[in-house]
Structure 1
Amino acid sequence: MKLTEITLLELKALFGRKRPAALLLFGIPILYSLLFGYVYRSNVIKNIPTVIYDQDQTATSRALTQAYMDSERYQVVDQVMTQEAMEQSLRENRAQVAISIPPRFAQNIKLGLASEILIVTNSVNNMYANTVISSSQEIIQTFSAATGQKLLEGINQMPASALRSVAPVKLGVRIINNPTTSYTNFMLAGLMANGVQIAILLVAGPLLVREYGRLSRWQTTSSTALVTGKLLACWISALGAFLASLGIIAVFFGVPVRGNPASLILLGSAFTFLVVNISLFFSAIAKNEVSALQTPLLYLMPGLLFSGLSWPQFAMNDFARFFSALMPLTYLADTLRDLTLAGYSPALLKNIAIMFAGGLGFYLSTIFVFAQRRNKLANPPAKEVLV
């Protein structure tokens, strides 16, 4: 049977059953895109439950309290009168942040003395702490500059001059490519690709191992043609799922796709080629279909954690970087994010070459293993007859 006929038969098997496997191949990455897209849709953490402990109770301290209430990052759930009540709110998780304003806060400011605001945050979830630190610095700096300006205006200094005196250094920040620091833009494309990876493993995992039980079906077909036909059918379908999912996160969740379409297609082709060949290799060496599905799934969580999607590779230790180099998602996650957000990736061609080379290596290994096992099953060794 010709290669094209095998490929078409495999495509028909993927799409033509009562319960087509293509539903998994397309459905899982699309479902991942939608679910994670809705999780990260707010882009930044807002309305963090906050308790205020104002020990000063002056117009100045109330102005600072109002600054926190006006910020969308905080939701003031309580204003307490004792240290114990503040700590209890944190301990019982009624609040994740506490703002403690010291006594004589306004008086110390008027006297030109330092006055320290204590911010207590629950860092069980680091997202809270990171958000609180950055936003509180902005609120306190703005409040300090405004307060100092009013003090100098009180001694007949002009407003503009007073502001320059209390805030002589200004910070200019320019964030490129992801100016809103959106978690959707940061994470969603990589999580979508992980969904594609899982779908490929589930669909391609059983394809070769089940052929060991029906050798008569392809008696006149070479092992190379069989492996290649299954590869092409899965690869074409997986690339379609990758591009469809990429379109969904762009249309429904506003993830920018600034890269050249040809670069994105080539990157997706290399990634799906590698993962399909890994799946077929596990299928060729597996004892049964269950083993073919379970074995590659063991690496999914480590593959995601070590991919550089959430923790940069340059911050990993030597062992972590070595382990990361074995994970297919490593060569896609950062590169895909660079292409979508910045429009280019300096590692694009290198990572594409690595994935195609790795996929080719697994492809050749799969053909060898599959041919050997197939030949052994078709021609079992003759049993010795004892006389």
Structure 2
Amino acid sequence: MKKFIHLLKREFKIFLANDTLRSVFILGPIVYGLLIGFTYKEGKVDNLPVIVIDQDHTPTSSTVVDMLGDNKTIKVLHYTQEPLRLEDEVIKTKAAAVVKIPENFEKDILLRKYPEINVYVNTGNILTANFSSKAIQVTLGTLSAGMEMKTLQKRGANSEQAKMQYEPFKANYITMFNTTSNYLIFMWPAMMGVVFQQVVLLAMAVSFASDFRRKSFLENYKGSPAILMLIMKCLPIWIISVVNVLILSAMGWYFKIPVLENIFGFAILATVFIMTCTFLGALFSVLLPNALKATQFLMIIASPAFIIGGFTWPSSAMPTAIQYLANIIPLTPFLEAFKIILIQKGSFELTYPYLQHLLILMAVYFVLCVLALKLKVRKLSPVEKEEEEENF
């Protein structure tokens, strides 16, 4: 027990003595959490500039402009004439879309010629394009339906008859899970998972690689099994990770992220995820010659993790080779399981396939790390070196 406490103190001392490691691992998640939270605090985009070109100048076209202006998602930039270079105007005003009301719009409606309103969507930013196009579509659709029903009523149909004639059946669209389409709720689990994976891998990258250069490493761990060495290196990371999880949970509450209903299930998932990341980081730290190389290789793995993890872009649409790469990164199954628990409020049983995936990765990285560590210590041990030379 004394040796265990002595080794734990040693590992904490080494960890806290590294200014870069201390600031990245302890302050990194907090800074990233605050940055992401305040960046996406509103959760949705309002007042997107939309150019509306009214070439008709009639009461009907003015109604279209007014109804678009009443939609909170967009902010109408009213033009009476089309700019000479429309594309340049879109760039200059940062408009998300352009709505063009043609000449003779009101006249053609009265003559039932079905005039067309052209909507040009700026897809330079897919997110704002989706928000603006949806808002414009809903507004123009509502106005079109209202005009059609009013025409039918003028022909003698009552409101119900006009409604049934225009709309023979009704389709109800009901949002599930993230019902407000809040972007922060969508991004929070992904970003927190990415941050945790990166800081844990970074911390573990320097764990063994830098310690192998110290004479005290072999002296302190003399006669100790490789499993003990690995666990002692991971313990400071595990303990501080618990504190980081609690801090980020408090941030989530502040930014009005949905409260976790299954805290015990999340605790299991987070524990397995963090342990898997530490074993993966330790493996590279043992295998590679120095801390810099280990950090570089682990960052190569961690950097594209969010992109290829299937959280925003479905894995089924990726090449098979990319899917295989994504499946060996701890973040991939963690995000799928975390999404079920936090956003979709699913039962914990639904996370079992992803939890099993994480457990397999954890076991594989643990075994490989222990084996690599045994070989490394044997190579570094002066006693065994001398025995090998004598036998030779």
User: Which position in structure 2 is the counterpart of 1:298?
Assistant: 300
Matched, 1:222 2:225: yes
User: Which position in structure 2 is the counterpart of 1:322?
Assistant: 324
User: Which position in structure 1 is the counterpart of 2:130?
Assistant: 130
Q: CA deviation at 1:384?
A: 8.6
Q: CA deviation at 1:234?
A: 1.9
- Higher mean Cα deviation, 197-206 or 163-172? 163-172
| TM-score, normalisation: structure 1 | 0.90
Letter paired with 1:244? I
Distance 1:372 1:210 in 2: 17
User: Which position in structure 2 is the counterpart of 1:286?
Assistant: 288
Distance 1:300 1:284 in 2: 18
Letter paired with 2:201? L
Q: CA deviation at 1:372?
A: 1.6
Q: Deviations over 1:157-202 (max 9, x none)?
A: 3334333333333331111111111111111111011111111122
**For the structure 1 residues 238 and 356, does the alpha-carbon distance in structure 2 shift closer, same or farther, using more than 3 Å as the test?**
farther
- Higher mean Cα deviation, 352-361 or 274-283? 352-361
Letter paired with 1:119? V
Count of paired positions: 383
Letter paired with 2:209? V
Contact 1:14 1:20 in 2 (8 A): no
SS at match of 1:360: helix
- Mapping for residues 160-175 of structure 1, pairs under 5 Å: 160-175=160-175
Q: Which has the higher contact order (CA 8 A, sep 6+)?
A: 1
**For the structure 1 residues 141 and 78, does the alpha-carbon distance in structure 2 shift closer, same or farther, using more than 3 Å as the test?**
closer
User: Which position in structure 2 is the counterpart of 1:260?
Assistant: 262
Q: CA deviation at 1:350?
A: 2.2
Distance 1:306 1:94 in 2: 30
Distance 2:273 2:107 in 1: 64
Distance 1:175 1:161 in 2: 29
User: Which position in structure 2 is the counterpart of 1:178?
Assistant: 178
Letter paired with 1:235? W
User: Which position in structure 2 is the counterpart of 1:6?
Assistant: 7
User: Which position in structure 1 is the counterpart of 2:371?
Assistant: 368
Q: CA deviation at 1:26?
A: 3.3
Distance 1:2 1:77 in 2: 72
SS at match of 1:299: helix
Unaligned stretches of 5+ in structure 1? Answer: none
| TM-score, normalisation: structure 2 | 0.89
Structure showing the higher helix proportion among its residues? 2
CA-based RMSD of the aligned residues comes to 2.5
SS at match of 2:119: strand
Residue identity (%):
21
Distance 1:204 1:264 in 2: 23
SS at match of 1:298: helix
- Mapping for residues 53-64 of structure 1, pairs under 5 Å: 53-64=53-64
SS at match of 1:178: coil
Q: CA deviation at 1:336?
A: 0.5
Q: CA deviation at 1:30?
A: 2.2
- Higher mean Cα deviation, 274-283 or 373-382? 373-382
Letter paired with 2:362? G
SS at match of 1:266: helix
Distance 1:178 1:383 in 2: 63
